[in-house]
Structure 1
Amino acid sequence: MTTSETQERARASRKDTGGARRAELVHAAGEVLDDLGYTATTVELIAARAGTSRPTFYAYFRSKDEVLLALIDRVADDLEAAQFLDGIEDLPVSEVIAATTRAYADAVFTHGGLVALFDSLAGVREDVAERWGRVSRRTHRRYARYLAETPPGTVDMCAPPDRLVQVLNDAIHHGAKRVARGTDDEREQFIADLIRITERLVGL
Structure 2
Amino acid sequence: MEWFYDNNGQQAGPVSREEILRLIMQRQIKPETLVWTSEFGETWRPASAAGLVSPLTGLLRMSSGSAEHWAWVLLVGPWLIQRLTLLILVWRQIPERDRMGPFSIVAMMSLFLFFISFMLDRNSIRESGKTPPGFWWWLFLPGYFWKRRQIVGRGMSLLIVSFVLLAVNVTEKIYQLPQIEKELQMQHEQTGQPAASSPPTTSGQENQQEDL
Q: Which has the larger radius of gyration?
A: 2
Which structure has more RCO (C-alpha within 8 Å, separation ≥ 6)? 1
- TM (norm. structure 2) is 0.35
More helix by proportion, 1 or 2? 1
More strand by proportion, 1 or 2? 2
